[in-house]
Amino acid sequence: MTIQNRRERERAERHQLIIDAARELAEAEGWEAVTTRRLAEKVEYSQPVLYSHFKGKDAIVRAVAIQGCGELARLMRKARPAQGESRLKAAAVAYLEFAAKRPALYDAMFVQQVDIPFGTDEVPQELRDAFGELVAAVEPVAGERDLETLTEVFWSSLHGIATLTHGHRLRPDHHEARLDLMLSALQGA
Amino acid sequence: MTIQNRRERERAERHQLIIDAARELAEAEGWEAVTTRRLAEKVEYSQPVLYSHFKGKDAIVRAVAIQGCGELARLMRKARPAQGESRLKAAAVAYLEFAAKRPALYDAMFVQQVDIPFGTDEVPQELRDAFGELVAAVEPVAGERDLETLTEVFWSSLHGIATLTHGHRLRPDHHEARLDLMLSALQGA
DNA sequence: TCGAATGTCTAGCAGTGCTAGATTTGCCTG
DNA sequence: CAGGCAAATCTAGCACTGCTAGACATTCGA
């Protein structure tokens, strides 16, 4: 029993080791540098070991993405301002900072279409948490408008800004002006 | 001289043939199905011919993307409503329809980071035209706000909605509600 | 008709994700 | 403590990718 336990624990540790290695490699050199061979080398095992933990490379990326959602949720929660200040702006800033500082992670989460269940299925808790933070930020300004729909619009705007900025499609020196314009529009000023 | 001309014309035709084949293949089976071998087979030449026209696969995708921008611009121009109706809404609908109906093309244009010059460099005319259509749609509702910045916000929102919708991250049956909410927010209602 | 230049193809390299089968490792039993 | 067995792990390889060097064919001008 205890041996079984130890083995399971070791397996779980290695599982996480692979996820961390993939994330680190992607953040350091981009996802195109994350090959099963380099990943195997980084965790000091041979390639087939990866496949005893994950169904394929996609599954590894998916695992990284889900944990990334957890981290985003944590960051946004930490960024909740003291009462009185704009929750909407604080959330937007935190979100965009995350996207800018962890582009590879953000890419896995929301750009690459790794088919994480998003709809009616069993949505990972990390995703729920992240979206929940967005909802909480939108709630004070929703007014008559449908909360969830407005949150989706808010999220879309943030996502659009994040990805177009990362692709150098927007003027870099107008970031703050864009953010302010977007926020005041959504606030229904 | 006429021989030279004929050769140049044939080369140009084949150049376009490659671009069309790549677009068709991508639209039919996704970009992951667009390999240099399959593309060569489709145009009935061997692989190296592709490399005599383009520096590499990226350059082919880039060419497809730029022509896609031209098409988007054309569609949005055609969708300009008669006076009185909302230009903003017409532009948004046209943009989102394009993104939904030509997902592979949209992907090449704005999702894959094919480094098309966007900033100060020599921006392709097709891109200018597409952005110009957005500016024209925003202009009537800009009011005191900076036109170009507001257009960037509008574009970001559209892009976010387009990509998150394509990735099944948004509730499909709330598409119109989201669009209306976004438009009325930007309109400064 | 021949030589040369242009154009095109065959064959191959180094890399990818993934896996079958051999090999080693570490456990439990006699 | 030795032996056998099962589980974990690795080696080697497949079919594919983007890309290219060098052989081959074609077409032009003299």
pLDDT per residue, tens digit, chain B (189 aa), is 466 667 778 888 999 999 999 999 999 999 999 999 999 999 999 999 999 999 999 999 999 999 999 999 999 999 998 776 799 999 999 999 999 999 999 999 999 977 776 666 688 999 999 999 999 999 999 999 999 999 999 999 999 999 999 999 999 999 999 999 999 999 975
Q: Of A179, A180, A187, A176, whose CA–CA distance to B189 is shortest? A: A187
Query: What is the tally of helices (H) and strands (E) in chain B?
Result: 9, 0
The bases of strand C with some atom under 7 A from any protein CB are 6-12, 15-21, 27-28
pLDDT at B163: 98
What the block records as the tokens of B38 is: 């399959």
Q: Kindly determine whether residue A177 and residue B113, on different chains, have CB atoms separated by under 8 Å.
A: no
Question: Could you tell me if A123 lies within 8 Å of chain B, comparing CB atoms?
Answer: no
Residues 161-180 of B with CB under 8 A from A: 161, 163-164, 166-171, 174, 177-178
Q: Which residue of B has its CA nearest to A179?
A: B153
∠ CA B135-B141-B142, nearest 5°, is 65
pTM confidence score: 0.94
Mean of per-residue pLDDT scores for chain A: 93
| Any strand D atom closer than 7 Å to A155 CB | no
The owner of tokens 């979100």 is A95
Residue B154 phi, psi (nearest 5): -60, -50
Long-range CB contact pairs, A147-153, < 8 A, 24+? A148/B171, A148/B174, A149/B174, A149/B177, A149/B178, A149/B181, A150/A186, A150/B181, A152/B164, A152/B170, A152/B171, A152/B174, A152/B178, A153/A186, A153/B157, A153/B161, A153/B178, A153/B181, A153/B182, A153/B185
pLDDT at A95: 98
Residues 38-77 of B with CB under 8 A from A: none
Which nucleotide C1' is nearest B4 CA? D28
From the CA of A3, how many Å to the C1' of C30?
A: 22
CB A76 within 8 A of CB A91: yes
| Any strand D atom closer than 7 Å to B149 CB | no
Q: Which residue of A has its CA nearest to B182?
A: A153
Dist CA B161 CA B149 (whole Å): 18
Q: Which residue of B has its CA nearest to A118?
A: B169
Which nucleotide C1' is nearest A4 CA? C27
Nearby residues of B147 by Cβ (< 8 Å), 6 or more positions away? B135, B138, B139
Question: Could you tell me if A189 lies within 8 Å of chain B, comparing CB atoms?
Answer: yes
Closest CA of chain A from B188, distance in Å? 6
Q: Kindly determine whether residue A150 and residue B110, on different chains, have CB atoms separated by under 8 Å.
A: no
Cα Dmax for chain A: 63
Dist CA B116 CA B109 (whole Å): 9
What the block records as the tokens of B182 is: 């976004």
What the block records as the tokens of B145 is: 């706000």
